[in-house]
């Protein structure tokens, strides 16, 4: 591994050679030609700063407005088209290629577990249609610079799927760090937030299951303690100035 792990790199620049590394986001692996000794090397796919955690090497993009998909990310996107067995989803103006949400990656009405049929394909617009906002999780990301497509799936009927009766706010993706819980209940369990790693934030009135979780989940309460205190402080100031 080279001793230049703190400088900036550009797309196509070689970061490391050999087998003493694990590929992180912002990089891809290519095979060296036999005349160059064979083996593999790690190459940057974006312009940014190199970050290494043990053997895991990543490149953090310089531009904070570009979303780079990572497996396990929670995202909010807008349906742009309905195709044969999948939906195409826009994750942001600067996200690059459209993500895809396959029919096999969503839950059928009623939570039915079965193989998808031709009838399901014909009725896809009953689930999501063009213009709908959906909450999903990144299931897979392309492994190299020529295939940076993102595949999504929905994990449950309660939290994931179509978003309605709320407000969408768009911020730079860098302002939404990866965390254990991206579903936040605040303002005395009256407001529910969905924090998308792609910079899309959904705000709506807390539903009954959100209120119950906000009251009964100690870990969630601890994670949102500062947010709740801020909201209560703002309410107090508002009452004093009425």
Q: What does DSSP say about strands 133-141 and 166-170: parallel, antiparallel, or unpaired?
A: unpaired
Find the DSSP H helices in the chain. Answer: 118-122, 208-216, 218-223, 225-240
- Establish how many alpha carbons lie within 13 A of residue 32's alpha carbon, considering only the half-sphere containing its beta carbon: 15
Share of the chain above pLDDT 90, in %: 32
Q: For the residues 12-28, what does the mean pLDDT come to?
A: 87
Query: Distance between terminal CA atoms of the chain?
Result: 63
What's the chain's Rg over C-alpha atoms?
A: 21
Mind listing the pLDDT tens digit for each residue in 36-61? 667 888 999 888 888 888 889 988 87
Say whether pLDDT at 86 is over 90: yes
- Cα(202)–Cα(183) distance, integer angstroms: 10
Mind listing the pLDDT tens digit for each residue in 166-185? 999 998 887 888 888 899 99
For the full predicted model, state whether its pTM sits above 0.85: no
State the DSSP code for 34: G
Mind listing the pLDDT tens digit for each residue in 105-121? 998 877 777 888 888 88
The position carrying tokens 């998808």 is: 116
């Amino acid at each position: 591994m080279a001793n230049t792990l703190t400088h900036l790199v550009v797309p196509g620049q070689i970061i490391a050679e050999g087998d003493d590394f694990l590929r992180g986001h912002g990089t891809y692996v290519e095979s060296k030609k036999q005349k160059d000794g064979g083996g593999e090397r790690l190459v940057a796919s974006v312009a940014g700063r190199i970050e290494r955690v043990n053997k895991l090497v990543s490149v953090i993009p310089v531009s904070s407005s570009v979303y780079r998909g990572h497996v396990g990310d929670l995202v909010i996107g807008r349906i742009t088209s309905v195709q044969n067995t999948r939906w195409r989803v826009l994750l942001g103006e600067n996200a690059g290629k459209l993500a895809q949400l396959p029919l096999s990656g969503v839950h059928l009405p009623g939570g039915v577990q079965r193989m998808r049929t031709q009838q399901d394909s014909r009725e896809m617009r009953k689930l999501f249609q063009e213009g709908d906002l959906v909450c999903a999780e990144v299931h897979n990301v392309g492994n190299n610079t020529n295939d940076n497509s993102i595949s999504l799936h929905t994990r449950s009927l309660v939290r994931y799927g179509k978003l309605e009766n709320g407000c969408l706010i768009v911020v730079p993706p860098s302002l939404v760090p990866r965390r254990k819980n991206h579903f936040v209940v605040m303002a005395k369990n009256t407001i529910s937030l969905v924090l998308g790693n792609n910079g899309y934030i959904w705000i709506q009135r807390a539903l009954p299951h959100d209120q119950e979780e906000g009251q009964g989940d100690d870990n969630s309460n601890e994670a949102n303690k500062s947010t709740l205190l801020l909201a209560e402080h703002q309410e107090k100031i508002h009452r004093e100035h009425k």
